[in-house]
Structure 1
Amino acid sequence: MTTLSQIAWDDTVLPFQLDRSDVRGRIARLDGVLEQVLAQHNYPPMVEALVAEVALLTALIGQTIKLRWKLSIQVRGNGPIRILATDYYGPGENGEPARIRGWASFDADRLDPDAPPFAQIGEGYFAILIDQGEGTLPYQGITPLDGGSLTACAETYFAQSEQLPTRFELAYGRSILPGQGERWRAGGVMLQMMPAVAGVAREGSGEGGLLRHTDILAGEEDENWVRANVLLDTVEDMELIGPGVELTGLLVRLFHEEVPRVFDPQRVEFGCTCSAERVRDSLAIYSAKDIGHMTTEDGKVTADCQFCGAHYEFDPASLGFEATVNPDGTPKAAADE
């Protein structure tokens, strides 16, 4: 039986602020959207776990930024798990859901079933990219992979690139709800010191001198940050994943002494922006000779979306800057007259 708290809070991000501590945060719970992200591919369990972790981080981080378009997280390494990529699309209008998509690239033959998932990414980087759409310059921040988890990498990113103390507590995995089959669920809390009170960074305590969230604050702000983190340490995995605990109830349970204040929740859903037109646009820079090298034996150019698995087929004569026919098959010369 589906509970009321599940209906109210699954696939939702709840923003809040702790007025006593000058700390802001987000609580997120993902159910259907995470299941849809993972259902697009047949990933091994260790790859599924990493995609679930980075999708949850994306939901939490994406909601902290006033986006006109897209926030992306990219993780690249030299190990068997080569790429983890997620996109968060901000809502187009008030009241609309945000959208999330994600995928992974890996070498199945090199995966070690006895090694921790994060270790199989190898050496590489964690990057956040923000694209506010047409007329703006995209922003990109990159930090090395560090700390033993994607969650630790995200904390290092904010400390190193933004000098904002940031903490995440996440839980994710397969669960079985009454009357339903096994499916993925995830939940997490993000804490971040308000930019106006964030202090000056001291020497980094991470590997290679990278900053941690504990390296930045000093004085009263340090006490506030430590106190909020001690309270967050008491959270349990089942409280994060739910669905028996409402997000507002969890917030009060954890931080009632810090005077929590909540804002409008944001719904999230799975969404992909791929289309035949976008594929055509991406191929517009190629010559007819280049398009010929992409053409299959049966005379088609094909493309598959890495995020949602959509399959596209094109007449090669309609592609590239030397195309001779329009997408509908009519001769270009006739259409231009």
Structure 2
Amino acid sequence: MVGFSSSFALVLTGLRGVGADRDQAVSGLLLLCLGMGGLAVWLGLRHRQPISIAWSTPGAALLASAGIPAGGYRAAVGAFLVCGLLLTLTGLWPRLSSLVAAIPTGLATGLLAGVLLPLCLAPVQAAFHLPGLMLPVLAVWALLLRWARRWATPGALVALLVVLAVRTPLHLGGTADSLLPRVTLTTPTLTWSAVIGIAVPLYVITMASQNIPGIAVLRHFGYDPPIRSVLTATGLTTTATALGGGYAVNLAAITAALCAGPDAHPDRGRRWIASVTAGACYILLGLTAGVSAALLTQAPPQLVEAIAGLALLPTLGSALAAALAEEKGREAAVLTFVVAASGVSAYGVGAPVWALAAGLALRLLM
């Protein structure tokens, strides 16, 4: 529930940001839930480890800020396909994962922070432009952050729906059948600008901020995860769901400790039940994708982005802390951050790629 409600709005926003219409965005949310839910169940039962699977939350933030590529949504789907193939290749060829892991932590986390910053500014902007709607939501979020931290973002989402219902009655519209999510396939188009501007940074961010931290969480709690098997499976799942809007399936990082930690079960050998249960819940939640999207269409787009921004504030904080932790290379990390946050684009290549290139160049120079 925490994983879904805290970022499904961001997933829909990200897919719409690269040109998907409502049905295509709902299809992506459905397939992501089915893919990561089924994968969590299978990996948990097979390896008897709490291997939590999620969509790439930072990847969705990247899509939300990337803009519609040349070639439209079809080019974005082609980029999803390339990202899935890169993730699969990483599992089959360990050398590739070693190269990604070799990217300095400061640069990787600076890149992540720069991608997240524009979305994290949305709550502030919404509070000034739509105070009657946003301030009650912020109050609920702040109180829950103090007293029930893991429910802060889901609580803010519920508060938003309550405020909207009070101010303007909610209308889902259509028949019950129209609210059922459907798979909408899109013929992909491969363009260099989408591959370089979306697929490559999506792959790097997913590996650096999801898969590598996800492995670290499992090892922290005493597990030896089957890395090659997991990376190959998530890559193949991403590839299989790409035509329907599945942009990236990966190891959970933000919510991984919920299943792998002692709160799940005192016996480390029994915690796999938690990740399998979570996977089954994701499958059920995926079937509500049409209703979820219909509810969010009742809210002004700025408010939807604000909820996504609230969900990403802890991630932004940890990314900035990691980027600035070491004095050596700090200038390169800051440069990576500001270039990524600037949103600049040149020659069809987006800010994340320029940010990583600028950070690496300055680090080599220094």
Query: TM-score under structure 2 normalisation?
Result: 0.27
Task: Tell which structure's C-alpha radius of gyration is larger.
Answer: 1
| Higher relative contact order, chain-length normalized (CA < 8 Å, sep 6+) | 2
Between Structure 1 and Structure 2, the one with more strand by share is 1
